[in-house]
Amino acid sequence: MVLTGFRFSPTDEEVIEILSQKVSGNTSMAAFDFIIQKNIYDFEPQELHGSESTIGLNKNERYYYCRRESDSREVMGRGWWKATSHVKAVSSPNGEVMGYKRPLTFHRFKDNIQGNRKGAIKTDWIMHEYGLQSIHT
């Protein structure tokens, strides 16, 4: 349940801390139950609809936990998430690296021909992928 007036607008450091708590198995994270676990690589971005649990988030903004099973960011033969710049280290206030953040954009295969990245269509969908420094997530 989301409290009236709640707005989720975390810093990169806060996102990494929430991810770290989730990975460590912290069960007191009920306040963040709107962050659901879902394999985002099974869906195109527009298929990742919001629900009543996304109240308090900015429009068109969603948060998901997703374990990457491989280095591939391909989405079920429909397209792929392409890294758009370098990985940014996310550091704690004392300067210790906590994790990383990587921006990605979604590219759709032209004419839905899987594997043909030549002439692919870059969409307006952007994802920020966060990961922990010491744990492969």
Instruction: Write down the mean pLDDT value for the chain.
Output: 80
- 125 pLDDT tier (thresholds 50, 70, 90): very high
Our measurement of the distance from residue 33's CA atom to the centroid of its chain's CA atoms, rounded to an integer in Å, reads 15
**What superfamily would CATH give domain 12-131?**
NAC domain (2.170.150.80)
pLDDT in tens, 44-95: 888 887 655 555 566 778 888 888 777 778 887 789 999 888 899 999 889 9
The two tokens of residue 4 are: 């009236």
Could you tell me which residues come within 8 angstroms of residue 50 by beta carbon, excluding any fewer than 6 positions away? 57, 62
Query: Residue 56 — left, alpha, or beta (φ > 0 → left; ψ -120 to 50 → alpha)?
Result: left
Higher pLDDT: 137 or 13? It is 13
What is the pTM assigned to this prediction? Answer: 0.78
